[in-house]
Amino acid sequence: MNEEKACGPHMGKSYSYRELPIGATSLGIHEDVIKTGTWRTLRPAFRVKTSPCNEGCPAGVDVRGFITLMKQGLMSEAYKLYVEENPFPAVCGRVCYHPCENACNRRDFDQAVGINALERFLADFPAPVGKESPGSGKQAAVIGSGPAGMSCAYYLARLGHHVVIFEALNVIGGLLRSGIPGYRLPEEVLEKEIEKLTILGVQFKTNCPVTKELWGELEAFDAIVLAHGASEHLSLPFVSPSEGGVGILSGLDFLRRVNLAGEVSLGRRVAVIGGGNTAIDAARVSLRLGAAPTILYRRSRAEMPAFDSEIEEALKEGVEILFLTSPVAIERIESGQRIRCIKNRMGHRDESGRPSPVPVEGSDFFVEVDTIISAIGEICDLSFLPQGIDFSHQSVRVNELGATTRRGVFACGDAIDQPRSVVHAIGSGKRAAIAIDGYLKDQTDAAIMSDLVIGQRGGLSFKHYLEGASDVWSKKVVHFQDLNPDYFQYKARYARPKVPKESRTGFEEVYGNLALEEALGEAQRCFSCGLCDHCGNCYIFCPDGSVLEQEKGTLNLINYEYCKGCGICANECPIGIIEMEKEG
């Protein structure tokens, strides 16, 4: 062929029909005519977006990231990624109420990915974690060895600071040890998690309750962390101090005694007052000790603050719950004691947003009991706090980085005003560690915080703190409407095996673990919202051949000289990673 003429019809010349190439073709790219990119008004851009599970995790765990590695069978790598944001997968895989699953986009398709089960599975593939920097020469004191304090200590140690944890009890673990029953979190599992801190050089001082005297000793540290938790129980308002204590146990005390000392004598009839996790734990533990527990809760099931799955299991195991029931008095009778109760109806919403219980006149009734366990809530004992550290409503006041009103003093966990969950404690411990590291390096809060915040629910990324966020990372959270579910297939989730309720007599774990193929199958259910898994749709669908496929792990590129901005790539992307952004 005539290659000169084959370069397409030159608009400035007038070739005859015989001189033109056959087939309306041109060799090479005819620049004047076909740079279709100039037609574009919107430009597609590949972004690594934030997944809703990641946002949903108060500890900022990169859920999508670790599941992506699990899909490939890279368990140790997945573990390493996990413990960047949360040191305790074995704990959270058992006791976390998994708000990540509530956020999972798959919930709107069939069922949320079993993130908690995968977490539990992953915990059996531990990989060693090292320090990010050599010794900084700085020392931090952490008060309390619960999940918040240990999390904070873990990150401080990784950042090269020397950490001493002061623990009031003679055992380490705080509420994880004393408050969570063994059928939810076996002791040896906790031990393994604590070992991580020992390996990182964290020093523990047990039997060290913080008093005003000890506080003086702490002043020598470069930073102090208040992670003492909320270990004081609220007293029942209708029990006068003089008669309090007789036949009445506090929920936390009861759990602590069972966990640390073994048997507690309860009798057969046990009434647990309250609707939180402590109440449920106390009821299920007393059941295991041979009692027949009844929970008295003043509102209805929907308002119960305990985790739903726990309530479910308690009911299955045979715990009786009397809803809309308020105890009003304890009366001594021959056979022991009885609680005078009154039935409630639901009234107007109170400041907690829940309908308030209104007593129904004349509905009094009695519940005869051997033991009463009071679990109506816990508060912090802040009597040791020195001047200058503000608190309100029995919680230490902190700023968005967990710093108290006194320089160098930080707080996390149940000591501050935040939801009382293990994962919130872990997340706030991490946040305090990052804040302390920044404080010790004289950084401003804004500098520390930039690029750390995952979504809008307070989770922070330690990985981003260490490495900075990638250029293509977008804070935008991918929601279900951003996905193209035509590409997904319905698949039921793999349930963890459970010990049948008839066999739950002792304190062995109720939930089992997924088998390998189940875990891999469950991991495959993850849509990978906002992270390219190289399905190739954008490349296949692009009518202009303008999507330039890159190797797995690298985002595809767009040839903007030819991309007309039609948006088909964004539309056909199953996982919503392509943003149509305004041109110019």
Partner 1 sequence: MAPGNDNGQRLMLTGNYAAAYGAKLARAEAIPVYPITPQTTVMEKIIELIREGELDAEYLPMESEHSVMAAAIAAEATGVRVFTASSSQGIAYMHENLFVASGLRLPIVMALANRCIGPPISIYPDHMDSLDQRDTGWIQYYVEDAQEIVDTVVQSYKVAEHPEVLLPVLVCYEGLIISHFLEPVELPSQEVVDQFLPPYGPEHVLLRPEKVMHLSVTVNDRYYMEYRYQQQEAMEKAKGVIKAVDHEFGQTFGRAYGGVLQSYCMEDAEIAILSMGSLCGLARMAVDELRKEGMPVGSLKLRVFRPFPQQEIEEATRNLKLLVVLDRDASVGMGGILYAEIAGSLYHLVSKPIMVNYIVGLGGRVVTLKDLKALTTEAVEKTAEGKIDKPVRWFGVRGLE
Give the end-to-end CA distance of the chain in Å, rounded to a whole number.
42
Alpha helices in 99-163 (DSSP H): 99-103, 115-122, 147-158
Span from 4-12, 127-135, 316-324, 446-454 in contact with partner 1 (CB under 8 A): 4-12
User: Per rule CB under 8 A, is residue 553 in the interface with partner 1?
Assistant: no
**Stretch in the footprint of partner 1 (CB under 8 A) among 14-22, 165-173, 316-324, 420-428:** 14-22
Q: What gap in Å lies between CA 339 and CA 366, rounded to an integer?
A: 5
In this complex, which beta carbon is closest to partner 1, that of residue 17 or of residue 490? 17
The residues that bridge with 223 in the sheet, in sequence order, are: 140
CB of 19 to partner 1, least distance (A): 9
Binding positions for partner 1, 16-35, rule CB under 8 A: 16-17, 20-30, 33-34
Q: Which residues contact 366 (CB under 8 A, 6 or more apart)?
A: 331, 338, 339, 340, 341
The type of residue at 89 is: P
Tell me how many residues contact partner 1 (CB under 8 A): 21
Question: Which C-beta is closer to partner 1: that of 22 or that of 261?
Answer: 22
| Comparison of 39 and 365: residue with beta carbon closer to partner 1 | 39
Cα–Cα distances in angstroms (integers) from residue 50 to residues 446, 476, 536, in the given order = 21, 6, 21
Q: Copy the structure tokens of residue 264.
A: 């507690």
5 forms part of the interface with partner 1 (CB under 8 A): no
CB of 35 to partner 1, least distance (A): 11
Residue 297 CB, shortest distance to partner 1, in Å, is 58
CB 163 within 8 A of CB 203: yes
Nearer to partner 1, 31 or 442 (CB): 31
Render 204-231 in DSSP notation, one character per residue.
Answer: EE-S----HHHHHHHTTSSEEEE-----
Burial of 239 (C-beta count, 10 Å sphere; 0-12/13-18/19+): middle
Residue 186 burial by Cβ neighbours in a 10 Å radius (0-12, 13-18, 19+): middle
Residue closer to partner 1 (CB basis): 388 or 543: 543
Joined tokens for residue 382: 């802040």
Q: Which SS3 state, helix, strand or coil, does residue 277 take?
A: helix
Amino acid at 325: T
Q: Which is nearer to partner 1, 39 or 238 (CB)?
A: 39
Closer to partner 1 by CB, 27 or 302: give it: 27
* 1 touches partner 1 by CB under 8 A: yes
State the minimum distance, in angstroms, from the CB of residue 36 to partner 1. Answer: 10
Closer residue to partner 1, CB minimum distance, 20 or 74 = 20
Read off the tokens for 174: 């705080």
Residue 419 to residue 274: CA distance in whole angstroms = 17
Closer to partner 1 by CB, 14 or 387: give it: 14
As measured in angstroms, the least distance from the Cβ of 534 to partner 1 is: 21
> Out of 4, 11, 352, 353, which residue is the one contacting partner 1 (CB under 8 A)?
11
Strand pairing partners for 330? 339
* Rounded Cα–Cα distance for residues 574 and 12 (Å): 46
Of the two residues 30 and 192, which places its CB atom closer to partner 1 in the complex? Answer: 30
3 state DSSP class of 24? coil
Binding region for partner 1 (CB under 8 A) out of 9-17, 45-53, 215-223, 433-441:
9-17
Interaction of residue 450 with partner 1, rule CB under 8 A: no
Ranges within 32-61 binding partner 1 (CB under 8 A): 33-34
Q: What is the smallest separation between the CB atom of 545 and partner 1, expressed in angstroms?
A: 11
Residues of this chain, 350-369, that bind partner 1 according to CB under 8 A? none
170 part of the interface to partner 1, by CB under 8 A:
no
Residue range at the interface with partner 1 (CB under 8 A); choices 12-20, 119-127, 343-351, 474-482: 12-20
Closest approach of partner 1 to the CB of residue 9, in Å: 5
Question: Considering the complex, what minimum distance in angstroms separates the CB of residue 22 from partner 1?
Answer: 4
Q: Which is nearer to partner 1, 29 or 260 (CB)?
A: 29
From the list 4, 5, 8, 170, which residue makes contact with partner 1 (rule: CB under 8 A)? Answer: 8
Provide, rounded to whole angstroms, the least separation between the CB of residue 487 and partner 1: 16
For residue 579, give the amino acid letter: E
The smaller minimum CB distance to partner 1, of residues 14 and 265, is found at 14
Amino acid at 448: I
Minimal distance, residue 20 CB to partner 1, in Å: 6
Concatenate the DSSP letters of all residues of 224-273 into one string. EEE-----EEPPPTTS-TTTTTTTEEEHHHHHHHHHHH------SEEEEE
Is 2 a residue that touches partner 1 (CB under 8 A)? no
Question: In this complex, which beta carbon is closest to partner 1, that of residue 11 or of residue 446?
Answer: 11
Q: What are phi and psi of 142, to 5 degrees?
A: -115, 125
Q: Give min distance, CB of 2 to partner 1, in A.
A: 11
As to burial, measured by CB atoms within 10 angstroms (0-12 exposed, 13-18 middle, 19+ buried), residue 489 is exposed
Torsions phi, psi for 325 (to 5 deg): -125, 120
As a whole number of Å, the CA-based R_g of the chain is 30
Q: How far is the CB of 13 from partner 1 (least distance, A)?
A: 9
Binding stretches for partner 1 (CB under 8 A)? 1, 8-9, 11, 14-17, 20-30, 33-34
